[in-house]
Amino acid sequence: MTLMEDAKKGIVTPSIETVAKTEGIDPETVCSCVAKGLIAIPVNNRRETLPIGIGKYMSTKINANVGTSRDYVDIDAEIKKAKAAEAFGAHAVMDLSTGGNLDEIRTRILKSVNIPVGTVPIYQAAASRKVVVEMTSDDMFNAVRKHAEQGVDFVTVHAGVNLNSLERLRQSDRIMNVVSRGGSFTLAWMLHNGEDNPFYAEFDYLLEIAKEYDMTLSLGDGMRPGCIADASDRPKFMEFITLGELVKRARAANVQTFVEGPGHVPLNEIELSVRGMKELCNGAPLYLLGPLVTDIAPGFDHITGAIGGAVAGMHGTDFLCMVTPSEHLALPTLEDIKEGLLVTKVAAHTIDLIKEGPRERAWEKDLAMAYARRDLDWEKQFELAIDGNRARKIRDARKTESDTCSMCGELCALKIVKEAFEKKNSEE
């Protein structure tokens, strides 16, 4: 029995119960949304995972990517990153390792954190052969099964990168073609082998494996635009259409899914992308990489991603993939992960302030901060801040003699207005 099967029968499972409690929403609503595929709770039946809800009425969740690359294989460092991500508030971790002993890394990450863990099995399939395009269909499915057996809670499969989207790509004027790593493996594989993507052609087999382990499918955005000029084009919308059909099939098979979204998108096209995806994919939870709202800010892409994520959130985003300052430049360091995560947390909270479901709870936090600010209660402000230590450090570095801050000192607007009103009222 998968969670979705239970939910369709109206059974409030412990996972649903936990999510409902965490979110402050009644369990029946969560159950009904899981049944419809509007909320995903990725928990592999082989692993003890803290259940988190992604989707409708749920607070915005954050994923942190960790993992080795061919150039940097330091497993301990990646474990540290995964743990730090969890400690700094990530709701899920994806192991994107491509270098070193992939099984060992994955096993250790699964043991190191309590939050859901995601992977991209095609990386392992590709690594098993000398050349990427020589991997077999079996390599691909075996990798998925292995990850499922090990307890991975959700896997990205680029099932929307198929011969149809390849043709749309050929008919397009894309500058950067495919910038998704898994998407590029798939595309190269199709070109080399002259066959359709096995994850698409044999999607039912994928569903069988996923169902056996109650593993959630993250339908990858292999066709995501890699630059502003490529945004909102036919290849991307073709992929949304395909993914929407796959969402429908997955729901029928009682397998949970969410859909990954673009990419590089200018501010005024984000609504189109997000609403397009939501419509075409029947309201599936949306997992966003960015969107990055400009191409020319390497070193600041955690911020271009926060801007894009927040704008996307105005139209229905559920799950943000943290972007680090190293994006487009290098494998992120531990510090990059922390910084990216904190900035993504800020963006996620700005979304929660306006999202149906988490809105009231998020609003309470800002309200408490407003009162603490008004009352110049600094300890309370640090307690309520997304990163109280950072705030305290900044304030302490430039102290003031007064109870205000060193920007205004005794000329603090809050203080002046308060005193003026008090004086006036005492006179009346």
> Which residue ranges make up the annotated binding site for [4Fe-4S] cluster?
405, 408, 412
Find the binder of its own copies among 124, 326, 340, 341 (CB under 8 A): 326
Minimum separation from the CB atom of position 175 to its own copies (A) = 5
Known binding positions for Zn(2+): 264, 328
72 contributes a contact to its own copies by CB under 8 A: yes
Cβ neighbours of residue 331 under 8 Å, at least 6 residues apart? 68, 69, 71, 72
185: its two tokens: 């493996």
Minimum separation from the CB atom of position 176 to its own copies (A) = 5
Minimum separation from the CB atom of position 16 to its own copies (A) = 29
Amino acid, res. 327: E
| Binding residue count for its own copies, defined by CB under 8 A | 108
| Euclidean distance between CA atoms 332 and 341, whole angstroms | 12
Question: How far is residue 63 from each of residues 106, 154, 241, measured CA to CA in Å?
Answer: 16, 12, 25
CB of 48 or CB of 296, closer to its own copies:
296
CB of 138 or CB of 366, closer to its own copies:
366
| Euclidean distance between CA atoms 256 and 399, whole angstroms | 52
Contact 311, 265 (CB under 8 A): no
Scanning 111-119, 234-242, 247-255, 362-370 for contacts with its own copies by CB under 8 A, the matching segment is: 362-370
Mask for 213-242, x = binds its own copies (CB under 8 A): -------------xxxxx------------
48 contributes a contact to its own copies by CB under 8 A: no
55 contributes a contact to its own copies by CB under 8 A: no
CB of 27 or CB of 388, closer to its own copies:
388
Q: Binding to its own copies (CB under 8 A): which residues in 272-311? A: 293-300, 303-304, 306-307, 310-311
Q: Binding to its own copies (CB under 8 A): which residues in 175-204? A: 175-181, 183-185, 187-188, 191-192
Minimum separation from the CB atom of position 28 to its own copies (A) = 28
| Maximal C-alpha separation, the chain | 88
Scanning 51-59, 110-118, 251-259, 331-339 for contacts with its own copies by CB under 8 A, the matching segment is: 331-339
CB of 20 or CB of 337, closer to its own copies:
337
Minimum separation from the CB atom of position 50 to its own copies (A) = 23
Minimum separation from the CB atom of position 383 to its own copies (A) = 10
Q: Binding to its own copies (CB under 8 A): which residues in 370-389? A: 370-371, 373-374, 381, 384-387
Find the binder of its own copies among 77, 201, 346, 376 (CB under 8 A): 346
Mask for 125-164, x = binds its own copies (CB under 8 A): -x-----xx-------------------------------
